[in-house]
Amino acid sequence: MTSPLARPPVGARAPVVRLEGVHKAPDRSSVVARFVDEARDALGRVDARRIAWDMTRWLPEFTLSRTRAHLLRLTGCDVRQGVGVLGPVRLSGPHGSARNLRIGSGCVIAPDVTFSLDSTITLGENVSIGPRAMLYTATHLIGPSSRRMQFNTDARPIVVEDGAWVGLGAILLAGVRIGRGAIVGAGAVVSKDVPENVLVAGNPAQILETLPGD
Instruction: Cite the active site residues.
Output: 140
Beta strand spans in the chain (E): 78-79, 84-85, 89-92, 101-103, 108-109, 113-116, 121-123, 128-129, 134-136, 138-142, 149-155, 158-160, 165-166, 171-172, 177-178, 183-184, 189-190, 198-201, 206-210
CB 108 within 8 A of CB 84: yes
Q: Can you say whether the dihedral through the CA atoms of 137, 197, 78, 50 is positive or negative? A: negative
Decide the pairing of beta strands 206-210 and 198-201: antiparallel
What's phi and psi for 109, nearest 5 deg?
Answer: -115, 115
| Cα atoms found within 13 Å of the Cα of residue 21, Cβ hemisphere only | 0
